[in-house]
Structure 1
Amino acid sequence: MRSLLVLALCALLEYAGAACYSGSDPVPCYSCAGSCTFDNGCHCSNDFTGCVPSSNSECPMGDNTCCGNLVGRYWDSSLHCCTETPFCYPGCSGDEVCGVVNNAAVCVCDRNTYQGIKISDLRASVDCDGGLMTISISRCQLQQLGYDASTLHFNGDSAECKASYGESRNNIRVQSIQLRAVSGLCGNVVTKTDSKIYYSNTLFITQKPGPIITRNPIVFSFTCEYSLDMQIGIMLSPQS
């Protein structure tokens, strides 16, 4: 029984070692007094040829820079070596997996997360923070439905009307776009009561590029509410 355990342990160690790069071109960094830096990657100290690290001390970066001399290899900080398994830095959100795109390890949408989703299931979150309105929507949900998250836009031709960006919120990858609470900007419509001021607008999202347009744009209407006192305070605040 003990011999079986030893054999099983040896097999596991062999399998684990097989995942690590063990070639000689490029050479291990320790064999040529090499080091890894953010600016230059991993190189030998004598002739500046590329090398491959084999420990965390040789690879201080928390990303895949240390394996840049090897195509299709990625740094595993737990094994202290370059492996064939993609590792994404920073880590992926809950609705993503780490995949390979153009030989780079990147977070991509997990297709299993939103199977069966319908357009009616989409929800946009709206933050009305001071004089800035931020609208966010799941990138992977949009992708699953065949829409292009990078096309978030309001009405208007200025950069402010279509400058969206990706981020992670509550462990979900979202595409966000911000708009200042200014009357008429990118289609902002203002209404007032005795104590409140409301900024309303419409967000548009178009489908992924293709030979035939088969889907109408997704449209989200939203409103941010502010007190008149707060709005006056924003208008009177000093500008840097």
Structure 2
Amino acid sequence: MGLWHVFYADWQMECCGTPFSVGDEVGWPLLLCDADDVLGGGWHDQLTEIVGAVEDVRGKDGAVRVVREETGLVVALHAHPVHMIAPDDLGGGRPGDRIRSVGLLAVETHGSVELPEVRGRVRAVQVLTQGFAEPAPGADLLVPVPGERWLKAVDACPRWFGGAARRSAAGVIVTLEVPGTDSALSHAVRAASGLPDDAPPGTESEGLPGDALAALLETLSTVRKPRVP
């Protein structure tokens, strides 16, 4: 079973999400996002590398372009059907191509097409607090500061988020365990647990109490330390 970091944005949950707890089984449509487009970028451990074949999955609202990761995870590359996206915006991967892409996996329930659902078990949850600042002196709008964020482990995802104007909860980072897949994060957990390099997928969580696994996963989902002037 592969372990995957997933970002669940505050507005996605507050609009029409269903709160969940560590240990729950869930099913979410996942989108591989350009990490620089999410909260200003500057992500760290939460980045995911996906290697696999590009496909167009047809549905009632049109075809969705996805990548089928080589161990089985299927995630969307766009939140809209192929026919609604300009060719230049579709990226370099065409159906049948094998791509390697690094981005941020995110729950996406507000696209204009239904995305494939990924089912798995929640193994860890961290509330993400984001720093905001004026883009220029006197500006009326605050924008996310790249990489200025904090994580706090919790047992359940809140239904509502909030905070001060310059430091506010912006969602959660979830570690999702997906059957039939494997990941770099799973390899890291096996290594941290002292398992041999050839240990099969899934052994990283076998016999490990849920709270112990969540505590270990917390050490593998961190933020960059602020630069010292």
TM over 0.5: no
Query: By percentage of residues, which structure has more strand?
Result: 2
How would you bin the TM-score normalised by the shorter chain?
under 0.3
Query: By percentage of residues, which structure has more helix?
Result: 1
Query: TM-score normalised to the size of structure 2?
Result: 0.20
Query: TM-score normalised to the size of structure 1?
Result: 0.19
